[in-house]
Amino acid sequence: MLTQETLRPALLIKPTIVSKLLDELPLQNDMHVLEISPTNTEHLPYIFQKAENIHYFAAQDPETEPAGIFSDYTADFFDCCYMVNHIYFWSDPLPYFSEIYRVLKPGGTMNLAFIEKRFGGHLPWTQLSFTFYDIDEVQSFFKRSGFLNITLKEMTETTTDQHGKEINRPFILISGQK
């Protein structure tokens, strides 16, 4: 677990898919927050400036079965869970969404930002180990796991491609409540 005290003062971060998702998180003081992600924590100071006494936890292994990822967490523990792009590593996301639902408190929220299939599925570097999903598929994972009040936003981020050119890349931000 990381806290504000363990990190340096907050920094501004570039307006990316990560920062835009973080801006949408319903963070309040004293929340327990779960991130499902690789081990990149450069955005944590940004989270910690949004509210006081945030208790941050991370589930980081995309290859592990859902029960293994969430086995350390009790039911109804987290106020908020978020994930950026990580869904691509799951060939069957429904069990993961069900586990996320289990560990969220009643009223807790799950926020997911992802690039949908029509924009990411054709990229050559994603062909072997990525599974892209359509918006309807992801909404179905939320609904079938029990989430309510599901909202969807189509957004863009400005990023740099492999040739150093700035591009606007569309992504989806979806949120559901337990």
Domain ranges within the chain, ordered by starting residue = 4-177
pLDDT at residue number 124: 53
Question: What's the confidence (pLDDT) of residue 106?
Answer: 98
* Residue of 91, 177, 82, 83 lying closest to 133 (CA atoms): 91
| Regions of the chain with pLDDT less than 50 | 7-10, 12
pLDDT score, position 8: 44
Distances in Å between the Cα of 50 and the Cα atoms of 19, 53, 80, 105, 177 are 12, 10, 14, 20, 20
C-alpha Rg value of the chain to the nearest Å: 16
Predicted TM-score (pTM) above 0.75: yes
Res 118: pLDDT: 66
pLDDT value for 90: 85
Quickly name the fold that domain 4-177 has.
Rossmann fold (3.40.50)
Cβ pair 157, 16 in contact under 8 A: yes
For residue 10, the model assigns a pLDDT of: 46
